[in-house]
């Protein structure tokens, strides 16, 4: 499954670069997003090194099918708007 990184999980005073909001293709409801909890997510960095950062779907986010993913390392700002793989 493919998904697209929307943003970091934000608060009033800080954001957390390990918590990312992802919109998964074909998932339009909270119930379908809840079915993805526990799945592995991977992001491949552009460039010649192709570093892969993996994470796990933690919960649904909102009612439109977005999910919250917790990555093992923080994602760089260049990751916003790029694609991820959901297994």
Can you tell me the mean pLDDT for 29-40? 97
pLDDT in tens, 54-64: 999 999 999 99
Helices and strands counted in the chain (H then E)? 1, 6
What is the model's pLDDT at position 15? 82
Confidence of residue 45 (pLDDT cuts 50, 70, 90): very high
Per DSSP, 31 falls in state H
What is the model's pLDDT at position 16? 85
**Residue bearing the bigger pLDDT, 11 or 70:** 70
Task: Please give the structure tokens belonging to residue 77.
Answer: 């700002």
Tracing tokens 């950062």 back to the chain, one arrives at: 53
Q: Which of helix, strand or coil describes residue 49?
A: coil
Domains defined along the chain, listed by start: 2-86 (2.40.10.190)
Alpha carbon separation from 23 to 6, 47, 49, 78, 85 (Å, rounded): 7, 24, 26, 17, 11
């Amino acid at each position: 499954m493919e998904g697209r990184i929307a943003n970091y999980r934000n608060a009033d005073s800080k954001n957390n670069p390990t918590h990312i909001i992802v919109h998964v293709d074909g998932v339009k409801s909270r119930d379908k997003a809840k079915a993805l909890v526990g799945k592995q997510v991977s992001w491949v960095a552009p460039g010649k090194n192709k570093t892969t950062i993996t994470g796990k779907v933690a919960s649904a986010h909102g009612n439109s099918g977005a999910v919250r993913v917790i990555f093992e390392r923080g994602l760089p700002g260049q990751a916003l708007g790029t694609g991820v793989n959901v297994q």
